[in-house]
Chains A and B, each alone.
Chain A
Amino acid sequence: MELQLGLPLFYFLLLGFAILMYVLLDGFDLGIGILYPWFNSDAEHDHLMRSISHVWDGNETWLVFGGVILFGAFPAAYASIASMLYLPIMLMLIGLIFRGVAFEYRFKSQRSKIWWNRSFAIGSSLAAFCQGLMLGVLVQGVDANNLALSSLQWLTPFSLFTGLAVMAGYALLACTYLTMKSRGAIQQKAARYGQRLLLFVMLCMLLVSLFTLLTQPEIRVRWFAGGYSLLLMLLPLAAGLTARLLFRDLGRVQRQFAADTDINSRHESRPFWLAATLFLLAFAGLVVGLFPYLLPRQLSFYAAAAPNSSLTFMLPGILIFVPLILAYTLWGYHIFRGKVEDYQEGY
């Protein structure tokens, strides 16, 4: 029994890891697109695009990875979740298409540039919004008596709210990324927006937590009556502390710039890691509520797991290639380390 549950649990954790990687990596990358309309000049837009043009493809691959892990390790969950969330998934894909091609065509266009700007900003926002919408469905749970694919139960005020919340979260990540990768006016703008977005994101997290605790007794019990409730209380505490540090760092970057002193490079790069930590903590909180379900209170990971023959077949591939992927992805980021240079020519 122990061993039989071991493999599905491993894949459940792997799926969580893939989603987290995707949210962090494509998060800042989609976030750039969400922030895009708040930057005005062509030069600023060039800079924004350039800051992620070499990584967006790799970042988006984590989404495909999450999808195929769900497909290969939990086919029943992949089948029911994907068909239930048909429209949000389709809209997300269309959004990703429009923003993805904008990278290729924008730099090669003159007259049509404005359309690629729109395509990038709207596509990124739509994709992020749909992801938030789906998150909302997973948090809220689905009605067991209403599983027909014709229902529109993914469309609720709550899921619309989480859609906006995820957009804000991604934009926050992008602000901290720009604080790290840019200089001057763009950096200052990013730090300023970052502070405001942080306040909004914290408010969203608070509201989502309250809503979940109020509407879902099982989750309430888990947080307050389980044996781990003291330990679990560390999560919101740590989130609060991280947010405070992040807010202060973003403030420092602005003050040092205003005082015309050299900006401490640690203060430039730390916000990104703090924002990532904030995402990690929020994600952990989410998993606490959801475990062990892939589809809340309908389908647990062990009920949806593929037969052992499939799970063991993928295992060596994952154990060998995931560390390799992380290594060369890190190396790629290392090669493009430092500030984004506007005069640097592409291929």
Chain B
Amino acid sequence: MELDAALLSRLQFAFTVSFHIIFPSITIGLATLIAIWEGLWLKTANPVYLQLAKFWIKPFAITFGMGVVSGIVLSYEFGTNFSEFSRITGAVLGPLMAYEVLTAFFLEAGFLGIMLFGWQRVGPKLHFFATVVVAIGTWISAFWIIAANSWMHTPAGHIIVDGVFQVDSWWQVIFNPSMPYRFSHMLLAAFITAIFVVLATSAWQLLHSEHKTMARKGLSMTLWLALILTPLQVFVGDLHGLNVKQHQPVKLAAMEGLWAEREAGVPLLLFAIPDRAAEKNHFEIAIPKLASLILTHDADGELMGLKAVPADERPNVAVVFFSFRIMVGIGMLMLMVALLGAYLRWRGNLYHSRWFLTACSYLAPSGVIAVLAGWYVVEVGRQPWLVQGLLRTIDVVSPLPPERVLFSLTLFVITYSLLFGVYLYFMRKLIKKGPPALEQLQQQLIGVKASGYAVALVKQLTPAQEKN
């Protein structure tokens, strides 16, 4: 088989970016939760909040570390594998990323050191401040990268001079038509992802560990948050869908599995197997007229189908179609869990319902899977374009020797598979180990700054002697 550098470069980018997104979608929400717990601890002096913060800061640290190292790769991959793309769009996308680094990356990195290692160097208020700054840094980072990504879907505010993009209006570039929707949808998704990681862990701890007080607090808080955020996400997702209909109708047609050039009263497909060659679906299970109702707010509304554009301007329909159903399916499941949790709380047996807790404990990866599926809808749905309607992916790949890309792709697959296994192993280990005991937390925080060393020193010496 002839190796294709373009295909390999695309595979490599898809693989490395998919790996990366797992970690920020957890840390954005987790940093926020840790900041909330620390703030509540300062306000109420209830040590269980400190215990939550101290417990989750460890999984947070390894997740953040994974996000950092896998993120650096991406900032260079545009140039290495998509050199033409970088040359043509650099003047638009480069400055957005420069702002991301200036306003977010340095901020996160600068205060992360204090958040992780500064417990004995700074007072509790300053520590809280550092945690809040890290959390805000993650949001700002999401803002810029979503702006850059959204511009590739709904480009605006640019002019093309000699085949190269230049910016006419930065306001329009940043707040391009899909940006507000994508940003809210993604930020909510990140919060919900972290909420379900904590929810699942708390449920597991209620069932299997002795840290019941902390686990109850964690479960209760995350279920309240889920009850507010999951319906909100359904609403925002619907708005985002309408935005896709307006600006990327081909992607929407792929999401809905709609082939006919135009169709009125479109049914909502629960299941089907799209067939690109035959330009139709097999084994459809559908609810009549529902898709039209959702997308046009009229049961007989018209939608554009895939056949409205030539075959070489259509994305891989099956990937988009199934990814979309996975995302929505998980979203509905999360909504149900939130509602069920509220019902059980009302009935007063939330913490004792073993079947509910068991079910919850399996939901830890649900958010991550939904986020990945959602991004496949977004990105695969835009193909064959890299910048919607303007730049085809295939035209802007670096003319590298294929075996060189194969080499790096192989390295990434090996490295990342290994690291992912290690990450899961350590997450499991940290969660099984549980939080520091409450008494120990008090002791550790007796003195801050210099006096804290003494306490820490004593603590370090005593267990060592006891062991002997």
Interface of A toward B, CB cutoff 8 Å: 53-55, 57-58, 60-61, 63-65, 67-76, 78-83, 85-87, 89-90, 93-94, 96-98, 100-101, 103-105, 108-109, 148-150, 306-307, 309-310, 313-314, 317-318, 321-322, 325, 328-329, 332, 335-336, 341, 343-347
Contact = CB atoms under 8 A, between A and B. Distances in A.
Contact of B98 (A57, A93, A317, A336): A317
Contacts of A97: 69-70, 72-73, 415, 419
Given A60-B109, A101-B419, A325-B106, 19 more contacts: A53-B117, A55-B113, A57-B65, A58-B110, A64-B71, A65-B98, A70-B79, A71-B86, A72-B94, A83-B80, A85-B80, A89-B76, A104-B62, A105-B62, A310-B91, A310-B167, A317-B99, A317-B103, A344-B120
Interface in B320-364: none
Contacts of B109: 57-58, 60-61
B122 A335 contact: yes
B114 A317 contact: no
Contacts of B378: none
Nearest to A321: B102
Contacts of B407: 87, 90
A54 B121 CA distance: 12
Contacts of B100: 68
Given A65-B106, A75-B91, A335 B68 contact: no
A82 B79 contact: yes
A71 B93 contact: yes
A167 B75 CA distance: 24
Contacts of A329: 106, 110
A68 B75 contact: yes
A174 B170 CA distance: 43
A141 B419 CA distance: 37
A89 B80 contact: yes
Interface in B72-126: 72-73, 75-76, 78-81, 83-84, 86-103, 105-122
| Prevailing SS type, chain A contact patch | helix
B110 A332 contact: yes
Contacts of A96: 69, 72
A60 B79 contact: no
B66 to A, nearest CB: 7
B430 interface: yes
7 A-B pairs with least C-beta separation: A75-B90, A82-B79, A72-B94, A54-B113, A58-B109, A71-B94, A100-B69
Contacts of B72: 60, 63-64, 93, 96-97
Interface stretch (B232-240, B367-375, B397-405): B397-405
A332 B117 CA distance: 11
A54 B109 CA distance: 9
Contacts of B54: 347
Contacts of A325: 102, 106-107, 110
B229 to A, nearest CB: 27
Contact of B97 (A63, A68, A82, A85): A68
